[in-house]
């Protein structure tokens, strides 16, 4: 964004241009967010065996997600205690790497990990620990979605090799592919896996 644009257009107005109104709520309108909310999440909501989900990482633009995931049990964690205030009713302040200290094995049918690898868990070792912890709390056959930015400074090191320790790549029916790349300047993509 040009410095001139920043100077002459108030922040509130710039933000409004990146928002969309959906089901009576303001939501981020970036292509990666629309892909998540309009394609990926509805696919899982339509699967009968998805009844309990863990969403890793909370942000102001995920405040509406308890509603987005309505009809299934929606849990969240965030390592930052400040996120408790804006999270839904089933929230814990916790690192993804420590999931097993709170949740028993086979607790979840889906772990949604969007914007955490590269945004907190950055090294190969940290990513590996996050993946292993997810595998521990997912039932066999449960889904893992990893959303990340395929760009310098955010790229996840060796995601495929690390995930292959516990997960198989899986085709998401709505995407007809095991990954989706969104048309964003930060190259946001989603990769789909199931737990072995
Ligand atoms: C870019 S936001 C992503 C929010 C949301 N998941 C989404 O769909 O965009 C990153 C969030 O992940 C949290 N986070 C970073 N490392 C974490 C970890 N090890 N465990 C849990 N949350 C973490 C941060 O505190 C921050 O709130």
Segment 23-28 shows an average pLDDT of: 78
* CA–CA distance, 182 with 30 (Å, rounded to integer): 9
Kindly list the distances between the CA atom of residue 80 and the CA atoms of 18, 33, 85, in Å, as whole numbers in the listed order: 25, 22, 10
| Separation of CA 116 and ligand 1 centre (Å) | 5
Rounded-to-integer distance, Cα 76 and Cα 72, Å: 13
- DSSP code at position 188: E
- The dotted CATH code for 29-195 is 3.40.50.150
Nearest protein Cα to ligand 1, atom 20: 95
Q: Take residue 39 and report the two structure tokens written for it.
A: 């394609």
The pTM for the full model equals 0.91
CB 107 near ligand 1, within 6 Å = no
Instruction: Give the whole-number percent of the chain exceeding pLDDT 70.
Output: 91
57-74: pLDDT as tens digits: 999 999 999 999 999 999
| d(CA 113, ligand 1 centre) in Å | 8
Query: Is residue 118 a contact partner of residue 155, using CB atoms and an 8 Å limit?
Result: yes
Cα–Cα dist 153/186, whole Å: 10
- Going by alpha carbons, the residue nearest to atom 16 of ligand 1 is 120
Q: Which residue in 51, 59, 64, 57 sits closest to 25, CA to CA?
A: 64
Q: Is 100 helix (H, G, I), strand (E, B) or coil?
A: helix
Pocket perturbation via mutation, ligand 1, pick of 27, 57, 113, 119 by most ligand atoms within 8 A of CB:
57
Cβ(55)–Cβ(76) below 8 Å: yes
15 pLDDT higher than 60: no
Mean pLDDT of the chain: 92
């Amino acid at each position: 964004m040009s410095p001139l644009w920043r100077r002459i257009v108030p922040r509130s107005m710039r933000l409004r241009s990146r928002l969309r109104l959906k089901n009576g709520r303001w939501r981020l309108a970036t292509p990666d967010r629309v892909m998540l909310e309009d394609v990926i999440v509805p696919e899982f909501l339509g699967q009968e065996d998805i009844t309990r989900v863990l969403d890793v990482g909370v942000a102001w633009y995920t405040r509406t997600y308890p509603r987005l995931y309505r009809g299934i049990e929606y849990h969240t964690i965030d390592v930052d205690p400040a996120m408790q205030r804006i999270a839904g009713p089933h929230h814990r302040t916790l690192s993804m790497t420590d999931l097993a200290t709170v949740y028993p094995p086979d607790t979840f049918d889906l772990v949604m990990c969007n914007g955490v690898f590269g945004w907190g868990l950055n090294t190969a070792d940290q990513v590996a620990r996050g993946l292993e912890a997810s595998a521990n709390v997912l039932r066999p056959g449960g889904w893992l979605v990893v959303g990340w930015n395929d760009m310098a400074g955010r790229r996840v090191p060796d995601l495929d090799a690390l995930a292959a320790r516990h997960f198989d790549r899986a085709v998401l029916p709505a995407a007809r592919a095991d990954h989706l790349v969104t048309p964003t300047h930060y190259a946001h993509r989603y990769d789909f896996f199931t737990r072995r």
